[in-house]
Chains A and B, each alone.
Chain A
Amino acid sequence: MIAQPVIAIEGVTVRFGGTEALRDVTLHVNAGEFCALVGPSGSGKSTLMKLVNRLVVPSAGAVRVRGRDVGQEAAPVLRRSIGYAMQSVGLFPHRTVADNIGTVPRLLGWDAARIARRVEELLALLRLDPGMATRLPRALSGGQAQRVGIARALAADPDILLMDEPFGAVDPITRRELRAEMRRIHAETGKTILLVTHDPEEALELATHVVVLRDGRIEADGAPAELVAPDAAPFVRDLLGGGQPGLRWLSLLPARGALDPRPAPAGAPVLARDASLADALSRLAESGDEAVAMEGEAGSVRAEGILGARR
């Protein structure tokens, strides 16, 4: 049985005035996928995401969410069922952190006790201090505000989460923490996440499904490793690969795939089971050995195995 996509965008064109922001775009996102939309600014990635909760209406084509055309549902009702977080966060400055987080549950008519419990859970999930609940947003740091924004998006436990460059405005250390947080939340909750980012590294690190846009068209759509593989389209490989697409490709391939039956020499470094080929290469470079061991495996990962990834 073919699983029905949770988000189906079929042949959509979006025109703003005279310009076409999206041209005949088709995209399917399955339940539980972490899908990253990447592309230069003006490529239409935000517009594509906003189709899902009808912040943008297609000029042609259809958008289906959970199998239903989004045009058939009242926009506010649809939006309450989909989490939304964005770069500028947009916390309500006159409401406390708890009230901000409880916005959608309140719109859905939850009772106060249930909202309070949910706020507590979310503060814990986002590793925020419970004492923060009664504070106003202006008392928060950029990273804390971003976490509150994500908590607010998750408040009514939506199965779909839209994130528009949610880590764009925070410092690199906080950004790394927040990414790890998102990976954990995705693993724990199994939500379908659509993430807009202009940072290829972020897309490759987080997503299970990467979509590359350019000038309102989808250039590539697939698993991260496929898009930086040596045979990927040059524009996509350039955009995602950074200066060293080969290394980035290796970092997306599991080392376990290159296991060699020969045992590693005694004293060789030991790789974790979820290590990538790039990790294996890094350990080899450090140790100067020609093979590394792997946790719980009799065989080894060898230099020629890593370099054979192409084959």
Chain B
Amino acid sequence: MIPALVAIAALLLPLPFLGVAPNRLLPGEGVTAIAALGPWVALPVALLALGAWRRLPGWVGAASAGLAALALLGLAGMAAGERLADLAPAARASFGAGFWVAMVGALALVAMRGAWMGVAVAAGAVLLLAGGWLDQLSLVVEGRARAEALRGAVLTHLALAGAALGLALLVAVPLAWAGFRQPRLGAALGAALAGVQVVPAIALFALLIPLLAALLRAVPALRDLGLGAVGWLPAVLATAAYLALPLWRSVSGGLASADPAAVQAAEAMGMTEGRILAEVRLPLALPVFAGGLRVAVVQAIGLVTLGGLVGAGGLGALVFEGLAQFATDLMLLGALPILLLALAADTLARAAETRLGRPA
């Protein structure tokens, strides 16, 4: 199994496992896994090897790989404490490339051998955090220092993504219906929405600011509604513009996916146009639509990150602040929750989709 081999190589080769720096902004000095962990390095290596052993049942392999991931995390926390013991309080110990490669390898192995074990790994990581094992790591120090801001950023992020998704639905669903009724209009709409995707996301976010500013100058009454050229408005608008295509496409595809014979039968039996839509077309469109909705939800969580650039806040603000300060851990503090939110949304949406795909 390749992920296990890669992870073991990352631990045994001279790659920096931890970086130890005098403060949060200066680049650190790399410490290899063997130097940082000493004989303990054998524990994740053995667990990874066990996880990759095909003769073992899948759940044993997944559990073993999951324990390897947790061991990496816990051991990194311990090693960080040891390294920082004699240094000034401002010193930081952060994860190095070797840690990341080994961690990604271990998680990939979990995914291959039994993805459900991922939940146990997440729970284990929370326990390690709560038990104080990770307190010496720079990422956790950064997180504790900004706990309040982080919590607010997660909520803002979700609110922005939700608003963009709602707006995109409000636009895409009626447009899809119109395009379905008039194929020529549909082709034009498809081209227009696809055109939006060609614009680089950052450019679209930035472009909206002068456009909105001009609009607000022309119609000052909009300002009284709490609208501004900077802040949540451009972020929601730009994200919604990107979400419109997958939503539009899945609604159109879903509407077109209804068996023409069923629609014809419905008509011949005396269903009105509205009933055919409600009783035949929409129920048959749901599974296709659910797929598009899942893509859109994940995209929304990812794209709203760029809202950090236009003053909308959210986790993107942390990422871009970290970028501006060259503070890797601050970037990670923003980026990791985005990743986790996207994964969680995808998992939930997939479960809902499976349900919808199975008619009652």
Which residues of A line the B interface, CB within 8 A?
Answer: 53, 55, 75-81, 84, 86, 88-94, 103-104, 107, 136, 149, 152, 162
Report A-chain residues with C-beta under 8 Å of the C-beta of B284.
93-94
CB pair A92–B268 under 8 Å, yes or no, is no
CA distance A107 to B360 in the complex (A): 21
CB pair B270–A92 under 8 Å, yes or no, is no
Report B-chain residues with C-beta under 8 Å of the C-beta of A152.
265, 269
For B270, give its contact among A76, A89, A90, A162 (CB under 8 Å). Answer: A76
CB pair A88–B271 under 8 Å, yes or no, is no
Q: How far is the CB of B251 from chain A (nearest CB, A)?
A: 17
CB pair B268–A86 under 8 Å, yes or no, is yes
CB pair B271–A90 under 8 Å, yes or no, is no
Could you say which of B68-76, B91-99, B256-264, B320-328 contacts chain A?
Answer: B256-264
CA distance A53 to B263 in the complex (A): 16
CB pair B259–A90 under 8 Å, yes or no, is yes
Q: Other than the known A90-B263, A92-B265, A92-B266, what 4 A-B pairs have Cβ atoms closer than 8 Å?
A: A84-B269, A103-B269, A136-B359, A162-B268
CA distance A76 to B269 in the complex (A): 7
CB pair A79–B269 under 8 Å, yes or no, is yes
CB pair A107–B268 under 8 Å, yes or no, is no
Report A-chain residues with C-beta under 8 Å of the C-beta of B275.
107
CB pair B271–A107 under 8 Å, yes or no, is yes
CB pair A93–B262 under 8 Å, yes or no, is yes
CB pair A93–B270 under 8 Å, yes or no, is no
Nearest residue, chain B, Cβ from A81: B270
CB pair A104–B269 under 8 Å, yes or no, is yes
Report A-chain residues with C-beta under 8 Å of the C-beta of B360.
94
CB pair A89–B265 under 8 Å, yes or no, is yes
Report A-chain residues with C-beta under 8 Å of the C-beta of B262.
90-93
Q: How far is the CB of A158 from chain B (nearest CB, A)?
A: 10
Quick one: which of B226-275 are within 8 Å of A by CB? Answer: 259, 261-272, 275
Nearest residue, chain B, Cβ from A83: B269
Q: How far is the CB of A63 from chain B (nearest CB, A)?
A: 16
CB pair B270–A78 under 8 Å, yes or no, is yes
CA distance A63 to B279 in the complex (A): 30
Q: Residue B280 at the A interface, CB < 8 A?
A: yes
25 sampled A-B residue pairs with Cβ under 8 A: A53-B268, A76-B271, A79-B267, A79-B268, A79-B270, A80-B269, A81-B270, A84-B265, A84-B268, A86-B264, A86-B268, A90-B261, A90-B263, A90-B265, A90-B266, A91-B265, A92-B262, A92-B266, A92-B279, A94-B283, A94-B284, A103-B271, A107-B271, A107-B275, A152-B265
Which residues of B line the A interface, CB within 8 A?
Answer: 259, 261-272, 275, 279-280, 283-284, 359-360
CA distance A40 to B262 in the complex (A): 25
CA distance A78 to B269 in the complex (A): 9
CA distance A104 to B270 in the complex (A): 7
CB pair A93–B269 under 8 Å, yes or no, is no
Q: How far is the CB of B275 from chain A (nearest CB, A)?
A: 8
Main secondary structure on B side of the interface with A: helix
Report B-chain residues with C-beta under 8 Å of the C-beta of A149.
265
Report B-chain residues with C-beta under 8 Å of the C-beta of A107.
269-271, 275
Report B-chain residues with C-beta under 8 Å of the C-beta of A84.
265, 268-269
CA distance A84 to B267 in the complex (A): 10
For B261, give its contact among A76, A77, A88 (CB under 8 Å). Answer: A88
Q: How far is the CB of A16 from chain B (nearest CB, A)?
A: 16
Report A-chain residues with C-beta under 8 Å of the C-beta of B259.
90, 93
CB pair A94–B269 under 8 Å, yes or no, is no
CA distance A306 to B75 in the complex (A): 104
Q: How far is the CB of B146 from chain A (nearest CB, A)?
A: 49
Nearest residue, chain A, Cβ from B280: A92
CA distance A136 to B283 in the complex (A): 14
Report B-chain residues with C-beta under 8 Å of the C-beta of A78.
270
CB pair B270–A55 under 8 Å, yes or no, is no
Q: How far is the CB of B346 from chain A (nearest CB, A)?
A: 26
Most buried by B among A79, A94, A103: A94
Report A-chain residues with C-beta under 8 Å of the C-beta of B283.
94
Nearest residue, chain A, Cβ from B264: A90
CB pair B264–A94 under 8 Å, yes or no, is no
CB pair B261–A86 under 8 Å, yes or no, is yes
Q: How far is the CB of B355 from chain A (nearest CB, A)?
A: 13
CB pair A80–B270 under 8 Å, yes or no, is yes
Report A-chain residues with C-beta under 8 Å of the C-beta of B359.
93-94, 136
Given A92-B280, A93-B259, A77 and B270 contact (CB-CB distance below 8 Å): yes
Report B-chain residues with C-beta under 8 Å of the C-beta of A90.
259, 261-266
Report B-chain residues with C-beta under 8 Å of the C-beta of A88.
261, 264
CA distance A238 to B7 in the complex (A): 80
CB pair A76–B272 under 8 Å, yes or no, is yes
Nearest residue, chain B, Cβ from A100: B265
Nearest residue, chain B, Cβ from A78: B270
Report A-chain residues with C-beta under 8 Å of the C-beta of B266.
90, 92, 103
Report B-chain residues with C-beta under 8 Å of the C-beta of A53.
268
Q: How far is the CB of B316 from chain A (nearest CB, A)?
A: 41
Most buried by A among B261, B266, B272, B280: B261
Nearest residue, chain A, Cβ from B265: A90
CA distance A94 to B265 in the complex (A): 14
Q: How far is the CB of A28 from chain B (nearest CB, A)?
A: 23
CB pair B261–A89 under 8 Å, yes or no, is yes
Report A-chain residues with C-beta under 8 Å of the C-beta of B270.
75-81, 104, 107
Most buried by A among B263, B265, B270: B270
CA distance A89 to B359 in the complex (A): 20
Report B-chain residues with C-beta under 8 Å of the C-beta of A91.
262, 265
Q: How far is the CB of A155 from chain B (nearest CB, A)?
A: 9
Report A-chain residues with C-beta under 8 Å of the C-beta of B265.
84, 86, 89-92, 149, 152
Report B-chain residues with C-beta under 8 Å of the C-beta of A136.
359
CA distance A80 to B275 in the complex (A): 14
CA distance A93 to B264 in the complex (A): 13
